[in-house]
Amino acid sequence: MSAAVLALVAYMLPVQAMPSPGDGGSFGGASLSSHKSGGSSRHLRTCTSRRWCRAQSRSTVRIATRSSGATVGGLVSVTESASDNVNVAKVEVSVDGGTLQLASGTTNWSESLDTTADTNGSHTITATATDTAGNVGSASVTVSVSNLVSPSPSPSSSAFVTRVGTQLDLAGSPFRFEGFNIYNANSNGGCVPKADLAQSLAAIGPGQKVIRVFFFQPWATKNGARDWTAFDQTLATAKAYGVKVIPVLANQWAYCDGSSVPRYLAWYQTGYRTQVDTGSLVSYRDWVAEMVSRYANDPTIAFWQLVNEGEARNPDGTCSETTAASALRAFADDVGGLVHSLDPNHLVSLGTISGECGSNEGHYQTIYASPSIDICDYHDYRFPTSPMGNTDPQNGLQTTIDRCHAINKPIFVGETGIHGQPGAYSLTDRAAYFDAKFTAQFSAGVVGELMWNWSLTPGSCGTACNYEIGPGDPSLGLLNRY
């Protein structure tokens, strides 16, 4: 045989699931089943700590090299075939020109590769076939390895966030933060797919200090009983990555939180004490008591947020502004006071933004003046090219900062979103707009900026997802810059 007539092709089979930090999974001892052909499967023997796991039986599948350039992670199967005009004596495999590993089988064979032994990035897998006459031929595929890398938590991850006037403090130093909303990290899959938090934090990389996540009661209720599994896992994963979490305890809107309608005026007046929403076990007030009692001593929590974008409209959509403001203030006094009575360690944010029913103009300052509320909130949308967002003198960002500082409290931008408009501007343009916003808004006195929103698969749900930021987005370069 001559090397010229040796044909060798390689393929990376589907990636096996890689355990996330805190999952309790491992690669050692995992039994694998490989690609199927014609209704039969080739089983690989149990893997131990060795890098390679031999195939138990020979593959009958011939797969072309179209896998070159694929992104892989965890434990993957490599399937290859070699042909010759005489017998193939052996096939050996190497990664990046390293030590040759003798494969089981010759014309058809497979290997299982533990990519966690390699660094993240580009790697070349080369298979070399030798015939009985000593002639050699080879083929290669280049793949991109991407595995979770859990950094060591920072020393400040064990400290609680505190307030010093209009600033936040962490472990004796001023604390400002950038990060993302990963609102669906706790989802039960009913209204929105659950985000893989470990993969997300690994893909985001260093620099992110805080994430904002919905912690709604239906997501802690399973088969009519309380189930804290998702919340415990979110906090454990965030802790492993040295990231703090802002849990949002309810949603104003009829989305993922049990209610079939938005939360109206009557709910803020009395309903939050007695009403039990679909999928929940107790009233909102009792839910808050459960949550803060369970996690009061967990410094992974940055601070609590009571309601996402809370406002107190009438059922017909009209607004009785003064009545609504009174209801929101009483709600803040009561629920914020409840949190502080059960949890002396964490700050409280109301979650109401300026310019809504009950928080319009000066009423925003009135409700945030509650002694039970520590941090003001603002959301910046619809003004992508304006560094200070909405410049309305009544409810714009600068006016809202001034009102919050007048009552000696810090303010953060809990959501800042720039809609990705195909053909209007590129992701690089969007990153530049975020950069201009963060520079201006931190200089104006905000203590945090959280982009809306993170997704491992941005744009997967069409135009509704155009706010999403995903792996490789240039906006990731803004983290820890300010």
Answer whether 369's CB lies under 8 Å from 336's CB.
no
Q: How many domains are contained in the chain?
A: 2
Q: What is the DSSP string of 243-305?
A: -EEEEE--BSSSSSSS-SS---HHIIIIIHHH---TT-SS-HHHHHHHHHHHHTT-TTB-EEE
- In this structure, are residues 412 and 449 in contact, taking their beta carbons and an 8 Å threshold? yes
Q: What is the mean pLDDT of residues 94-114?
A: 70
Is residue 390 pLDDT above 90, yes or no? Answer: yes
d(CA 137, CA 149): 36
Residues 179, 89 share a domain: no
Indicate whether 170 and 42 sit together in one domain. no
**How confident is the model at residue 84, as a pLDDT?**
63
SS3 128: strand
What is the spatial distance between Cα 239 and Cα 241, in angstroms, rounded to a whole number?
A: 5
Residues 104 and 173 both lie in one domain: no
Of 120, 145, 170, which residue constitutes the final position of a domain?
Answer: 145
- Look at 95 and 291; give whichever has higher pLDDT: 291
Among 80-89, 260-269, 367-376, 418-427, the range with the most confident prediction by mean pLDDT is: 367-376
Asked whether residue 124 falls in the same domain as residue 187, the answer is no
Domain boundary among 145, 163, 180: 145
216 pLDDT more than 90? yes
Give the pair of three-digit tokens for residue 354: 């300026």
- Give yes or no: residues 75 and 168 share one domain: no
Residue 421 belongs to some domain of the structure = yes
State both tokens at 273. 């004490």
Last residue of a domain, one of 123, 145, 167: 145
Confidence of residue 239 (pLDDT cuts 50, 70, 90): very high
C-alpha dihedral, 309 to 310 to 312 to 313, nearest 10°: 30
Verify that 200 and 246 share a domain, yes or no: yes
Rounded Cα gap, residues 466 and 428, in angstroms:
14
Enter the tokens of residue 365.
């300052």
Question: How far does CA 461 lie from the centroid of its chain?
Answer: 17
Q: For 353-375, b where at least 16 C-beta lie within 10 A, e where not — what string?
A: bbbbbbbbbebbbbbbbbebbbb
Q: How far is CA 412 from the centre of its chain?
A: 20
- H or E segment and range at residue 201: helix 197-204
- Has residue 240 got a pLDDT over 90? yes
How far, in Å, CA of 171 to CA of 130, rounded? Answer: 62
Across 446-458, average pLDDT: 95
33: amino acid identity, one letter: S
Apex 428 CA angle, 427 and 429, nearest 5:
90
The rounded percent of the chain whose pLDDT value lies above 90 is 60
Two tokens at 295?
A: 């996690």
Average pLDDT over residues 20-33: 29
Q: Are residues 35 and 121 in the same domain?
A: yes
Token duo for residue 304? 């609590």
Q: What is the mean pLDDT of the chain?
A: 82
Based on the fold, state whether residues 377 and 395 are members of the same structural domain.
yes
Instruction: With respect to residue 355, please indicate whether it lies within any of the assigned structural domains.
Output: yes
d(CA 449, CA 180): 8
Give the whole-number percent of the chain exceeding pLDDT 70. 76
Q: How many C-beta atoms lie closer than 10 Å to residue 447's C-beta?
A: 21
Range of the domain at 205: 155-478
Distance, in Å, from the CA atom of 191 to the CA atom of 197, rounded to the nearest integer, reads 17
Is the residue at 150 inside a domain?
no
Q: Of how many residues is the chain composed?
A: 482
Most confident of 17-21, 90-94, 367-371: 367-371
Lowest mean pLDDT, pick from 10-19, 111-120, 154-163, 164-173: 10-19
How sure is the predictor about 76, in pLDDT bands with cuts at 50, 70 and 90? low
161 in the same domain as 19: no
Backbone angles phi, psi at 147, to 5 degrees: -120, 155
Rounded to whole angstroms, the Cα distance separating 382 from 390 reads 8
pTM: 0.71
Between 471 and 78, the more confident residue is 471
> Confidence class of residue 17 from pLDDT cuts 50, 70 and 90?
very low
Q: Are residue 62 and residue 168 in the same domain, yes or no?
A: no
Using alpha carbons, list the distances in angstroms from residue 452 to 169, 438, 481.
24, 14, 18
Our CA angle for 24, 29, 33, nearest 5°, is: 105
User: What does DSSP assign to residue 105?
Assistant: B
CATH of the domain at 42: 2.60.40.10
Q: Is pLDDT above 90 for 2?
A: no
Report yes or no on 54 lying in a domain: yes
C-alpha–C-alpha distance, residues 2 and 7, integer Å: 11
| 278 has pLDDT over 70 | yes
Q: pLDDT band at 259, cuts 50/70/90?
A: confident
Mark whether 165 and 117 lie in a shared domain: no
Answer whether residue 262 shows pLDDT above 80: yes
Q: For position 186, what pLDDT does the model report?
A: 95
Distance separating alpha carbons of residues 33 and 277, to the nearest angstrom? 44
What is the residue type of 333?
D
Bridge partner list, 173: 170
CATH of residue 474: 3.20.20.80
Pair type for strands 108-114 and 121-131: unpaired
Least confident range from 68-77, 135-144, 397-406: namely 68-77
Residue type (1 letter), 441: Q
Separation of alpha carbons 122 and 139, rounded Å: 17
- How far lies 224's CA from each of 219, 280, 281, 329, in Å? 12, 8, 7, 33
269 phi/psi in degrees, rounded to 5: -80, -50
Residues 101 and 194 in one domain: no
How many helices (DSSP H) and strands (DSSP E) are in the chain?
Answer: 9, 24
Q: What mean pLDDT comes out for the span 88-96? A: 82
